[in-house]
Structure 1
């Protein structure tokens, strides 16, 4: 049977195999994260529902953000999520969005005594972020120079809680959950942006359109909102 399948694939393109999409993401709960051998999260569930709706095979792999982003830039049939869509990144990918509309805020550990009423005042502090994360770009564009760059979100959070950095950017949606689990507090707002699925530039147009239509339907039917409520987040803008 396998031999017949191989011969068939040599004779004509195997559509199912050709349209297997490789998704990459990072460990950033509650959006995308590992729990044992399972990959879960509010954006993971949206990707799963989109792909189930269009009936296309896919894989999801969690890895450091810099690698996840790089693969989606260079590997055909590869998409990375959840990716901030900004002017610098716009021409680099084909976009399926929004998985969410989010603001990023700068937070500090409770009791640190660190205050900043605006971004200019925040620039005197050491800010932690992740290598190749869009927040690294935002911080540089806004004139932040005292940056501490780690490999992933959890490493940055550990530095914040241990006092090795003064502040870090975080999704405002996630902050509501995090502050119930960790001694952190908001300092000021950093930015606002849509987050989506970013696919390598040669990604098939027809498949891209089907994914976008499936996400549009998930949003219109209220499915996206229900997923975020499940993870303890409110999508009100």
Structure 2
């Protein structure tokens, strides 16, 4: 099966000995997603602008999350985004952040009768999530045992809408867009965390530092906020 691969070589002169950075991500609109053969999204645009600012070649590939995450753990010059930065993941990667700061909430389908004012109350329900997704770790750390683990976000969402699971975790920012198209409602807050670019441990530190500096400028000059507004998300507190 032919992979959809987006290759971007930038207009700035390429240094002959420079290596290409391989970015992996998942299909999780409006942050990162495929539209035909094009890869788009609010975090995709930030990665594109960061790499354009430093003049380094790169690729972006959309994969199931477990594979996208696994490649960034094992393949040199590989980074995955947007990745939640938590205590467990901190020593596994080199980080460039934040692409955003987001809350994760537990949602259910409207009319399901599922209610939970606290996380303790939510533990009696079956919760769906994705393999190797950080929400799987969070749920386990918080004592959730009735977990249904799917291959990707869309598979979990289909299970929720069909009544095969009771709740699922989702980015609050994504939920604000998704609830206009699907019969979904919020139940309770699960967690809050920064989301960033996570690079394989041997990733060159000088290159990581350049990427971080470029992202810092993107945030400071208001460009990051403009990108999120473009995709219908207001990050104002």
TM-score (normalizing by structure 2): 0.93
Per the alignment, residue 174 of structure 2 pairs with 174
CA distance in 2, matches of 1:199, 1:19: 14
Once the two structures are TM-superposed, the CA of residue 16 in structure 1 deviates from its matched residue by: 4.2
Larger Rg: 1
Q: Is 2:157 the counterpart of 1:157?
A: yes
The structure in which a higher percent of residues are helix is 1
Per the alignment, residue 25 of structure 1 pairs with 25
Residues 60/159 of structure 1: CA separation in 2 closer, same or farther (3 Å cut): same
Correspondence list, 1:42-191, <5 A: 42-191=42-191
CA distance in 2, matches of 1:232, 1:161: 23
Aligned residues of 2:101 and 2:195 also touching (Cα < 8 A): yes
CA distance in 1, matches of 2:168, 2:141: 16
Q: Once superposed, which parts of structure 1, at least 4 consecutive aligned residues long, lie more than 3 Å away?
A: 14-18
Once the two structures are TM-superposed, the CA of residue 234 in structure 1 deviates from its matched residue by: 1.1
Per the alignment, residue 229 of structure 1 pairs with 229
Residues 16/176 of structure 1: CA separation in 2 closer, same or farther (3 Å cut): farther
CA distance in 2, matches of 1:77, 1:33: 22
Aligned residues of 1:16 and 1:56 also touching (Cα < 8 A): no
Aligned residues of 2:50 and 2:214 also touching (Cα < 8 A): yes
Stretches of structure 1 lacking an aligned partner (at least 5 in a row): 1-13
Stretches of structure 2 lacking an aligned partner (at least 5 in a row): 1-13
Compute the RMSD of aligned alpha carbons. Answer: 1.0
CA distance in 2, matches of 1:217, 1:15: 23
CA distance in 1, matches of 2:134, 2:17: 32
Deviations 1:95-144 (A, max 9, x none): 00000000000000011111000000000000000000000000000000
CA distance in 1, matches of 2:18, 2:146: 45
Per the alignment, residue 3 of structure 2 pairs with none
Aligned residues of 1:105 and 1:189 also touching (Cα < 8 A): yes
CA distance in 2, matches of 1:126, 1:17: 51
Per the alignment, residue 202 of structure 1 pairs with 202
